[in-house]
Chain A
Amino acid sequence: MLEMIQNGMLSLVMGVSALTVQNVVMIAAGCGLLFLGIRKNYEPLLLVPIGFGAILVNIPMGGMMSEGGLLRHFHDFGVITEIFPCLIFIGIGAMTDFTPLLENPKILLLGAAGQFGIFLTLLLAMGLGFNLLDSVAIGVIGACDGPTSIFVTSKFAPHLLGAVSVAAYSYMALVPLIQPPIMRALTTQKERKVRMEYPAKSVSRALKVVFPIAVTIVTCLIAPMGTPLMGMLMLGNLMKESGVVARLTKASENEIANIVTLLLGLAIGATMDGAAFLRGQTLLILGLGLLAISLDTVMGVLFGKLMCFLSGGKVNPLIGAAGISAYPMAARVVQTEGRKYNTNNWLLMHAMGANTGGQVGSIMAAGIMLSVLKGMGLG
């Protein structure tokens, strides 16, 4: 009887005795993410489930990621199969207004320049010894687009999923800290003060409805491997703009987006198991991810400067920084920076145009990369 009580008591400390240093570090990291999400309000919708998932998976003997574990089910069902990133895109599409982009289509080019960091980081990662497919996954952090990063990484480098997705989502949240110093360093006061006029209303409802259909057909024919992402993004947008499926649109931007965000966040957090996550390689990936987003900003602003020059000073180069996929954070950063130098300058709608261009651009860049890899027999 006494022995049974002793065994029973011992079972209560099994978890504590199995705790490793890595578990403790990762539980602290999970708490750090929760702090950023709750206290600092950085992307709380993502950082709270990711942080909590990281804590859960590092509880020894909790079995959350073991065969049949709760988080393992979420991970295998939604991440490995790439269902979650695609479903998230339906919600994003239903929430995105492409009108500023349609008002000024040339701004779409900024969404291309804002993806160059992906490719430059890919080369750098290869230089640092990563193999080609790992480098592709690391470079795609520069898409500044969580679902796209997960989509590409789960295809080519599933073992890097934790590091890549944490980097992608964390840096997306840190865009307001990463971008402004780069924007200031690359532009003159005069350039930052450039006022951009708003074009007269020029977008018809018919155009808004045709746009997602046209984008899907054109871009998916060019880069078929990006079809799941672009298709879902544009389906969400078509539902919103057509106005005939209000229930589906509401469900996409609320219920579907919310449920998938929660499960995706938990599943990503679940990849942060101490033993697998705490390696030098992870730090390197986090560093390269930061570099990728910085390079995106550099290239976007430089392209903005080129457009400023070619337009005779009618384009404010700051809007180039919004050519990434972090929507609408990057656009807000541009607006805030612009108003610091000219309080009457309202760059928001132009920046929103570049930002939505960045969303299309990031999927396009990833789709092209996947298609090229397949073409070379590597995909």
Chain B
Amino acid sequence: MTDAAAPLLNPGTAWFLLVAFSGLWIALGLWWGRRGAGDADDYLLAGRNIGLALSTATLMASWVTGNTTLAAPEVGYTLGLWGMLGYSLAGLGLFLFAPLAVRIKRLMPRARTSGDFVRLRYGRLCWGIFLVITMAYTLGFLITQGMGAGLVLQALSGFDYRLGMVAVIAVSTTYTLVGGMRAVVGTDFIQSLLIMALLALVAVLGYSRFSVDAVYTALASDHPSRLNLLLPTGLLFAWNTGLFSMGEVFHNNIWWSRVFASRSSVVFRSFVLGGLAWTAVPIVTGAIALMALAQQLEIPQVNMVFPIVTAQLLGSGGAAVVFVIIFASLTSTLDSLLAASADLIAEDVVAHWLLPKATDAQIRQAARLVVVGLGLLTIALSWQYLTSMYQLLLFTGALVASTIWPIAMGLYWPQANRHGASAAMVAGSITGLLTYWLIAPYCAALVSAAVSAVVMGLSSHMRPERFDWRLLAER
């Protein structure tokens, strides 16, 4: 059995993989960074003309985070079927955003960020509230990826927590800085293919040694709750996951920037295809975790079930494959977060607030500074490992769920009221946070979304606005 304290991968191999893939991502970032027109639109949105393959792959890679490769197997292991299926429901966020993405692309041909939409649709007060919410979420997301990087590399290869954390953040920051969105989208393409192909390889090799039927028989005999379709905790998890993913995708500039960066003709298909491709990942990784239950492998840390099972089944080669999958997952998510946040701050805070007359070159320079600043901030905030990563995400979930209905209604309903949108975000966030503290953290997103929907719907019904959609064509 695996010793929990011993790294799964030989340190020499781990160092080789770290240096090789870090060098590859940075070299590709430099190469792609030299392409294009060199203006702010090119740096922030890769020239607004990316095709279906890159658009789909970047959505897929950004959505496969370190959590997907570690937490999805964990929920498969602990909840069984509903863990896998529930986690895969997070693909709903991408599916449901597909029609919105088409409308955004049509209504806002010159926009750069989700903040542009909120500012033009609801005015500056709502825009300010939205910026606070989205930046709080983004910072929480960045910290969880940074801490996750340190923890996983430590467990996999024995690296010091801070070394792994700094390495992953530094690599992502470097190639995002030099290549902008082109580097992010280009590396995302390779990272997503690596993740998908290697996950499929691990699953095929795993099931060639321990058949699906043998797993089913062992589960039905020893762990029937894992096959139970009426498991209440599993149903609750699935419901929460769908809602959380909608809140994340509808508001976050990661997804809006992909809409603006993609060609109009591919936007809808890329979100549908990206969602479909992503949906398979939690099922495959969860299924690998089920092998651990069926084989009665000792799992000292349940969130490390995927690396442990893979190393047990496939030896050191399996551990190396897991290292590459997780390194690609973490860097592909961090680069997207850094680029989308730089886009948001350079466009919304610098160009529309601090320096209204900022030139194209100044916006591009501001974005570069933000990438570096956010990278350093993430390192600083992840320096001490907090045991409350889970709490941090639930906390931010209470905030982002309040933006779902103001965004969705604002895109389709001309009567959606700007004061109602501000009130919905504030009321949803406050009640969500109160629920987090006073009732249960896990109900926070649900209450936040529900209150926000009621406030938005009632206020817009009582004092309807007549919004002119043509105003969204400005920037």
> Are chains A and B native binding partners rather than an unrelated pairing?
no
Binding site for A on B (CB under 8 A): none
Binding site for B on A (CB under 8 A): none
